[in-house]
């Protein structure tokens, strides 16, 4: 029973702080017309955005997620991709760092979104 309780807490409790990487991802999502719900509202993932009426969970994967193998990350990763009706997108730190000024492009690509201006031209974000 103790293991079950520990697993439940690891899955449902959000982290006590937001990383600078997570804050950066949230900022870019907000700047490209998404209204992300952050982990304070949805504690089992870093952000949720709505794309074409569908919620997409975004997990910001900093170095600690891989170095320390955090239990809450391991536990929530296993069931989430297999759940029906939940789309899950990872934003790993190495991809984030590689994209420089094109971070908005990276996120819209992962989310499967193409943004257009008022004249129907594809926007660069």
What would the DSSP string read from start to end of the chain? Answer: -HHHHHHHHHHHPPPSS--HHHHHHHHHHHHTT--PEETTTSTTSSEEEEETTEEEEEEEE-HHHHHS--HHHHHHHTTGGGSTT-EEEEEEHHHHHHTGGGHHHHHHHHHT---B-TTSPBPP-
53 falls within a domain? yes
Q: pLDDT at residue 58 above 50? A: yes
Query: Which domain, by its residues, includes 6?
Result: 2-111
Within-domain flag for 24? yes
Q: What is the CATH number of the domain that holds 19?
A: 3.40.1350
Q: How many domains does the chain have?
A: 1
Cβ atoms 42, 48 nearer than 8 A: yes
Is position 106 within any domain?
yes
Look at residue 24 and tell me whether its pLDDT is greater than 80.
yes
User: Residue 119 and residue 125: Cα distance in Å, rounded?
Assistant: 16
Classify residue 123: in a domain, yes or no.
Answer: no
Q: Distance between CA atoms of 41 and 79, rounded to whole angstroms?
A: 20
In a domain, 117, yes or no: no
Q: What confidence tens digit (pLDDT) does each residue in 73-123 have?
A: 555 555 555 555 677 888 888 898 898 888 888 888 888 876 655 555 555
Q: Return the residue matching tokens 């949805």.
A: 42
Please give the residue that has the higher pLDDT: either 52 or 13.
52
């Amino acid at each position: 029973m103790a293991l079950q309780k520990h697993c439940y807490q690891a899955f449902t409790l959000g982290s006590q702080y937001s990383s600078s990487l997570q804050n950066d991802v949230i900022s870019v999502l907000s700047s490209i017309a998404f209204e992300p719900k952050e982990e304070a509202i949805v504690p089992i993932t870093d952000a949720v955005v709505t794309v074409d009426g569908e919620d997409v969970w975004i997990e910001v994967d900093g170095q600690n997620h891989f170095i320390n193998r955090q239990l809450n990350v391991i536990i929530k990763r296993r069931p989430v991709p297999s759940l029906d009706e939940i789309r899950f997108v990872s934003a790993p730190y190495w991809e984030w760092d590689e994209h420089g000024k094109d971070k908005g492009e990276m996120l819209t690509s992962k989310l499967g979104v193409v943004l257009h201006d008022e004249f129907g031209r594809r926007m660069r974000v």
